[in-house]
């Protein structure tokens, strides 16, 4: 099996797992709120990576990190595995899954915007076109093709999801500057998410044990969606070039949409397809 086939196999496994996010987020919050669901999922993810780190005998690498490296890792963990998910899960609990999904996947376009300001990257025609298409896609979803469809309650939840997309884009841009072993870094990320979600759960919610219907979604989310998927992603990037692997990620919202329609009978508007297409094309035309 050549390297390209291997990288495609890994990234497709990753995409299939990431496509489960809307499903497990909705099912897992039937008996828990977003703080509780995130805590239990993060705890399972952290334990999963801790076991992997132990098996690969990389435990000692934790003690070789400087205070600055720990600070950077915890800061990024707060953004990418706590704040992003707490906002995203809120969205899935309070809005139509497909609507949330499309807005969520404007983060690759937002990466371009933030890269201009943070990484001082230059704007070019492709980047400008990508940004415009991304925001057109979000606008189509928010309005459902008709400005009269904008309601304050929907706008509030959609705004939270859009903020989540900004947070993950910021996390992605800042991650380019950090140089720590991938497995160690992700373990710290989910340790950070576990701690912060525990605090927010105690302050803003209640400490509740998972109910019977939520145990399976939590395990799937913790072990597979937010656990093993990262290993597949790391392996895919090691074997194949990022420019070859990255476009496959845009299959994720397509698969997620099919699952939401099948499992939750969510209404699918043609304008959702148009919005998704605009955002996906916007991400693809800017790939390196």
Alpha-carbon distances of 142 from 57, 84, 166, 268, rounded to whole Å: 48, 20, 16, 14
pTM above 0.95, yes or no: no
What pLDDT is stored for residue 246 in this prediction?
64
> What proportion of the chain, given as a percentage, has pLDDT over 70?
89
Give the best-scoring range by mean pLDDT among 67-76, 173-182, 248-257, 279-288: 67-76
Q: Which two tokens stand for residue 284?
A: 């693809």
Cβ pair 131, 109 in contact under 8 A: yes
Cβ pair 214, 37 in contact under 8 A: yes
Who has greater pLDDT, 9 or 247? 9
pLDDT-derived band of residue 150, with 50, 70 and 90 as boundaries? very low
Nearby residues of 101 by Cβ (< 8 Å), 6 or more positions away:
22, 253, 256, 257, 260
Going by C-alpha positions, the residue among 146, 161, 150, 156 that lies closest to residue 270 is 146
- Residue ranges of domains in the chain: 3-284
pLDDT digits (tens, 9 = 90+) for 107-121: 877 877 887 788 777
pLDDT-derived band of residue 271, with 50, 70 and 90 as boundaries? confident
């Amino acid at each position: 099996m050549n390297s390209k086939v291997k990288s495609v196999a890994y990234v497709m496994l990753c995409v299939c797992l990431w496509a489960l996010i809307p499903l497990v987020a909705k099912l897992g919050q039937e008996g828990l709120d977003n703080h509780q669901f995130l805590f239990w999922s993060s705890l399972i993810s952290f334990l999963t990576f801790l076991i992997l780190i132990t098996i690969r005998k990389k435990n000692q690498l934790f003690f070789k990190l400087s205070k600055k490296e720990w600070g950077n890792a915890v800061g990024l963990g707060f953004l990418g595995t706590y704040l992003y998910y707490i906002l995203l899960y809120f969205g899935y609990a309070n809005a139509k899954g497909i609507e949330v999904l499309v807005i969520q996947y404007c983060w690759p376009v937002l990466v371009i915007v933030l890269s201009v300001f943070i990484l001082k990257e230059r704007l070019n025609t492709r980047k400008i076109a990508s940004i415009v298409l991304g925001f057109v896609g979000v606008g189509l979803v928010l309005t459902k093709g008709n400005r009269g469809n904008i309601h304050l309650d929907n706008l509030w939840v959609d705004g939270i999801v859009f903020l989540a997309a900004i947070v993950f884009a910021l996390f992605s841009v800042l991650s380019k500057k950090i140089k720590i072993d991938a497995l160690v870094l992700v373990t710290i990320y989910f340790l950070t998410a576990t701690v912060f979600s525990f605090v927010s759960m105690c302050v803003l919610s209640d400490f509740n044990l998972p109910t019977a219907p939520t145990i399976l979604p939590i395990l799937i989310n913790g072990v597979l969606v937010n656990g093993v998927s990262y290993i597949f992603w790391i392996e895919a990037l090691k074997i194949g070039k990022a420019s070859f692997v990255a476009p496959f990620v845009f299959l994720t919202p397509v698969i997620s949409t099919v699952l939401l329609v099948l499992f939750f009978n969510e209404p699918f508007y043609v304008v959702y397809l148009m919005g998704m297409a605009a955002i996906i094309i916007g991400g693809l035309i800017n790939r390196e």
